[in-house]
């Protein structure tokens, strides 16, 4: 009896699940299943990593690290939206079987982002000596030199990652996000193994941990790039000077600039929370805030495994006018979201017990903060469905305006709720949740108009 027959005999329901449906759906199912395996292991490794790092560093230094690392996300806009614009254009080129154009998109995107990032990092090296990090991070002056050195490693690796991550964008654009989740798992395991070794051999310092956390993702991205361009199916798209043509920039920027503005708004909306808390309550309070986030981010990470393939799959389906497939997949994700809401509520109820088992008495996290994070994750998971659809079809004008409004409203609203109304650090994430509600309403309306071919004006821009 062949191996295939044995598999059919033992697991016929699995064979039916993965072999039935549209080719686009079967591909998505395969990578969602693999992603769940990788992400499950990644979540476990992440939870262990938090506990180990809290043992390696004290609470204040860990809070400083979280704020410091989050600062790099402020500069994610440096790719000026090219990464997302490239993702859509690359998927469109493949959907139209235009591989030559796809090659130009790959090499040109690498070249432009590499030039931008080189200028950024050289500029940063020149001004870093004049930046007084203790003031920015609201911490003691004795850490000034340590933070200055750490900044070089963190921003250096961040710059490299912005260039190297184009390889993972190619994987996502071709609806293979599971490899990206495998990359994240490998990165997490490298960090965990190295921190455990340092825990038993050296004294905990921000610089040592910063080097590990900065360089490990660079290593995994280099590894993925070598594999997919040297040995994988993407060899024909390997970056080459021959295929750098700056005339293609206009095509990438035409869509990319909208993603660029949306990215800046998202950075301010989400990445400023740590800075707000640091300035209002001190860096130590960032630790319980981010640990609660780490716990409640489990459902959003799992939900995103199912939503991830939607973006590029929608791009392909929309180009081919396959609206029935899009409606079917959106309906399925809405049904799955209901089960996730139930799971998030259960996580909230058991959170005090979980924190006790996970962290002991290292950090105290209030039930109010857990409730605020649970509410945010419920809103964010639903929002993700329609955000990925709209990103896939490239109709971004509504999302652009909503992102700008949320960006402007979030910071004063966070200060009002956290400080003036006395909600503390819980008020910061509640403010972000409020900012996202308008986004959900408008994106749902836009989806219905687009899928029924009734979108006009701003709804179709």
More confident residue, 15 or 69: 69
pLDDT at 30: 67
Mean pLDDT of 124-145: 83
* Residue that has been written with the tokens 């900012």 in this structure: 435
Cα 182 to chain centroid, rounded = 14
More confident residue, 26 or 55: 55
pLDDT tens per residue, range 248-268: 887 777 766 677 777 777 777
* Residue that has been written with the tokens 């329609």 in this structure: 386
Cβ atoms of 138 and 125 within 8 Å: the answer is no
pLDDT at 19: 52
The answer to which of 56-70, 128-142, 180-194, 274-288 has the lowest mean pLDDT is 56-70
pLDDT at 248: 82
Distance, in Å, from the CA atom of 70 to the CA atom of 272, rounded to the nearest integer, reads 8
pLDDT at 272: 78
Going by pLDDT thresholds of 50, 70 and 90, the confidence category of residue 28 is: low
pLDDT at 78: 66
The answer to which of 57-71, 322-336, 377-391 has the lowest mean pLDDT is 57-71
Mean pLDDT of 390-408: 85
Cβ atoms of 71 and 213 within 8 Å: the answer is no
More confident residue, 72 or 102: 102
Mean pLDDT of 310-315: 79
- Residue from 283, 293, 274 nearest 370 by CA: 293
Q: Is the pLDDT of residue 7 over 70?
A: no
- Mean per-residue pLDDT over the chain, rounded: 82
Mean pLDDT of 298-305: 85
* Residue that has been written with the tokens 């979030």 in this structure: 410
Q: Is the pLDDT of residue 340 over 80?
A: yes
Distance, in Å, from the CA atom of 359 to the CA atom of 356, rounded to the nearest integer, reads 6
Q: Is the pLDDT of residue 66 over 90?
A: no
pLDDT tens per residue, range 82-122: 777 888 888 888 888 888 888 988 899 889 889 888 998 89
The answer to which of 26-40, 124-138, 197-211 has the lowest mean pLDDT is 26-40
pLDDT at 82: 77
Going by pLDDT thresholds of 50, 70 and 90, the confidence category of residue 11 is: very low
Going by pLDDT thresholds of 50, 70 and 90, the confidence category of residue 18 is: very low
pLDDT at 135: 82
pLDDT at 80: 64
Residue 106 makes CB contacts below 8 A (sequence gap 6+) with 86, 90, 166, 170, 237, 238, 239, 243
Number of neighbours of residue 105 by Cβ within 10 angstroms: 30
Mean pLDDT of 166-195: 80
Going by pLDDT thresholds of 50, 70 and 90, the confidence category of residue 23 is: low
The answer to which of 62-76, 319-333, 394-408 has the lowest mean pLDDT is 62-76
pLDDT at 26: 64
More confident residue, 77 or 369: 369
Q: At what angle do helices 82-95 and 249-266 cross, to 10 degrees?
A: 130
Residue 45 makes CB contacts below 8 A (sequence gap 6+) with 185, 188, 189, 192
Going by pLDDT thresholds of 50, 70 and 90, the confidence category of residue 1 is: very low
pLDDT tens per residue, range 283-296: 788 888 888 988 99
The answer to which of 66-70, 316-320, 324-328 has the lowest mean pLDDT is 66-70
Domain ranges of the chain: 25-460
Number of neighbours of residue 210 by Cβ within 10 angstroms: 22
Question: What string of DSSP letters covers 248-305?
Answer: GHHHHHHHHHHHHHHHHHHIIIIITHHHHHHHHH-GGGHHHHHHHHHHHHHHHHHHHH
Q: Is the pLDDT of residue 337 over 70?
A: yes
């Amino acid at each position: 009896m062949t191996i295939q027959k044995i598999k059919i005999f033992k697991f016929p329901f699995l064979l039916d699940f993965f072999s039935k449906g549209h080719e686009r759906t079967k591909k998505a199912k395969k990578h969602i299943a693999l992603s769940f395996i990788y992400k499950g292991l990644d979540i476990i490794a992440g939870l262990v990593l938090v506990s180990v790092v809290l043992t390696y560093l004290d609470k204040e230094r860990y809070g400083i690290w979280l704020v410091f690392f989050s600062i790099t996300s402020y500069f994610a806009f440096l790719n000026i939206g090219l990464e997302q614009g490239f993702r859509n254009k690359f998927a469109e080129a493949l959907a139209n079987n235009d591989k030559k154009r796809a090659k130009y998109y790959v090499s040109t995107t690498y070249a432009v982002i590499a030039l931008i990032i080189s200028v950024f990092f050289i500029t940063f090296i020149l001004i870093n000596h004049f930046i007084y990090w203790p003031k920015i991070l609201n911490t003691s002056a004795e850490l000034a030199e340590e933070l200055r050195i750490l900044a070089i490693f963190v921003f250096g690796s961040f710059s490299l990652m912005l260039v190297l991550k184009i390889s993972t964008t190619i994987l996502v654009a071709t609806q293979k996000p599971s490899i990206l989740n495998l990359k994240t798992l490998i990165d997490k395991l490298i960090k965990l193994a190295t921190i455990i070794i340092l825990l038993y051999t050296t004294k905990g310092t921000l610089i040592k941990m910063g080097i590990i956390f900065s360089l490990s993702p660079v290593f995994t991205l280099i590894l993925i790039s070598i594999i997919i361009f040297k040995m994988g199916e993407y060899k024909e798209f390997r970056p080459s000077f021959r295929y750098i043509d700056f005339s293609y920039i206009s095509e990438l920027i035409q869509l990319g600039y909208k993603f660029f503005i949306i990215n800046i708004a998202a950075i301010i909306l989400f990445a400023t929370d740590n800075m707000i808390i640091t300035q209002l309550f001190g860096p130590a309070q960032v630790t319980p805030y981010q640990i609660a986030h780490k716990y409640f981010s489990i459902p959003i990470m799992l939900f995103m495994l199912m939503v991830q393939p939607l973006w590029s799959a929608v791009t392909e389906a929309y180009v081919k006018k396959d609206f029935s497939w899009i409606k079917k997949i959106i309906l399925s994700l809405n049904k799955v979201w209901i089960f996730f809401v139930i799971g998030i509520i259960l996580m909230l109820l058991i959170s005090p017990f979980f924190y006790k088992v996970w962290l002991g008495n290292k950090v105290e996290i209030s039930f109010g903060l857990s409730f605020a994070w649970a509410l945010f994750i419920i809103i964010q998971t639903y929002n993700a469905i329609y955000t990925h659809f709209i990103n896939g079809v490239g109709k971004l004008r509504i999302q652009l305006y909503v992102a700008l409004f949320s960006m402007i409203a979030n910071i004063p609203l966070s200060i009002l709720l956290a400080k003036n109304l006395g909600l503390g650090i819980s008020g910061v994430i509640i403010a972000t949740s409020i900012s996202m509600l308008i986004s959900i309403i408008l994106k749902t309306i836009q989806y219905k108009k687009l899928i029924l071919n009734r979108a006009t004006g701003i709804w179709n821009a």
